[in-house]
Amino acid sequence: MSIPFDQQDGFIWYDGQLVPWADAKLHVLSHGLHYASGVFEGERAYGGVIFKSAEHSARLHRSAELLDFKIPYSVAEIDAAKRLVLERNGLTEAYVRPVAWRGSEKMGVSARDNTIHLAIAAWVWPSYFDAAERLKGLRLDLAEFRRPDPRTAPSTAKAAGLYMICTISKHRAERRGYAEAMMLDWQGRVSECTGANIFFVRGSELHTPIADCFLDGITRQTVIALAKRRGYDVRERRITPEELAGFSECFITGSAAEVTPVSEIADWRFTPGAITRQLMDDYAAEVRPTRKAAAAA
């Protein structure tokens, strides 16, 4: 049985200083807990180096601005804090989680003057999915909840409140024997999974939904660039569920998921193939400078 996260050992960076893991606490009447005024990032370190660390820190700032607060640390300061967390915890292969939230000075919908807190933790997280399951392709359910109209929520932020329906959808999928769930948008078009973006393959073309009502993932952007470097035609467009029968391959992307093949989504079937495997290899080389150099040689 794994150790609960509040009982693990190590150090967490909290409001400017490293504190023992068990001492990284917030009050039960924190605004972020009651009103979801919190934003976060999910990042991976490979060989002691956080992949695209500055891009993640910049997105954390943008997410906070969309929730109407300002993080009191610069991108450079956040990057330095993340490196310190890895160093003090003796981690080289790790998942890194910065999180910022409104504090406890006022309890109510309006809390403009509440203190903004920032914490950074890191831990070992080898793979988001079981290794054997990942290689043969994940089975995805079709979620009941949909991504909201961007006029109803700050959908381009990595905000805690936007993940409520993701948790509900993933729990339902797991109870039904699936590893994940694909979500539609408010108009019934394909959007993303509960914690990852999604791609489909037809011939040498990659098709992926336009990221205008969900997070445009940094891994998503990286994979698009890698695919174009390989000469694949990448099409960001509206995709309807009825089109899924016409795709041969499917995979999902994310900092936690990396590049993971999909074998089925509800009644649709896919076969993990050459393009998915190529992009898995290219991404693995991209995140590790030594492997990237070897691949280019």
- Tell me the catalytic residues: 158
Output helix, strand, coil percentages for the chain, rounded to the nearest 5.
35, 30, 40
Whole-number Å distance between alpha carbons of 226 and 152 = 33
Whole-number Å distance between alpha carbons of 291 and 293 = 5
Whole-number Å distance between alpha carbons of 282 and 232 = 13
Q: Which two tokens stand for residue 215?
A: 């997070």
216 touches 254 (CB < 8 A): no
Cβ atoms within 10 Å of 284's Cβ, excluding its own: 15
* CA-closest candidate to residue 14, choices 123, 122, 119: 119
Q: Is 293 helix (H, G, I), strand (E, B) or coil?
A: helix
**Cβ-based burial of 148 (10 A; exposed 0-12, middle 13-18, buried ≥19):** middle
**Cβ-based burial of 139 (10 A; exposed 0-12, middle 13-18, buried ≥19):** middle
* CA-closest candidate to residue 215, choices 10, 99, 41, 6: 41
